[in-house]
Amino acid sequence: MKKAISKSSKVQDDDMLPEYDLRGAVRGKAYLPLHKGYSVTIHKEDGSTVVEHYKLIDGAIMLQPDVRAYFPDSDAVNQALRSLINLLSQLPDKSSIKKTRPANTRRRVVAHQ
């Protein structure tokens, strides 16, 4: 269900000019995942066109916005990951852990008739 926009809810100092009509616009129409790379077409004043292709640098990692909120820069991400690596290295080896079921879980045997 779409909400009706009242005139009072519009921002008073809106930068949008009246000739910008976005009623038929489609959000995300040209969206492509950044990790697949993208191209930028530059139309120069002399009439020539230049197309430049970009892709992520090898080793670049993209963070989701919710994760990015906690890590302002690469140093913060690296520090957190090094802490995690340190914790993981302190865990006992998985092969030396005896696999047992917790005491509070029991198998129930159900007789079928």
Measured between alpha carbons, how far is 30 from 99 in angstroms, rounded to an integer? 51
Structure tokens at 86: 């340190």
Strands (E), the chain: 38-43, 49-54
pLDDT at 96: 60
pLDDT at 87: 92
Question: Is the CB of residue 40 less than 8 Å from the CB of residue 51?
Answer: yes
Backbone angles phi, psi at 39, to 5 degrees: -120, 145
Question: Is the CB of residue 37 less than 8 Å from the CB of residue 51?
Answer: no
pLDDT at 47: 92
pTM for the whole structure: 0.40
Per-residue pLDDT of the chain (113 residues; tens, 9 = 90+): 555 555 544 544 577 888 888 888 888 777 767 767 888 899 999 999 999 988 878 888 888 889 999 998 989 999 999 999 999 988 887 666 565 656 666 656 666 65
Measured between alpha carbons, how far is 104 from 81 in angstroms, rounded to an integer? 35
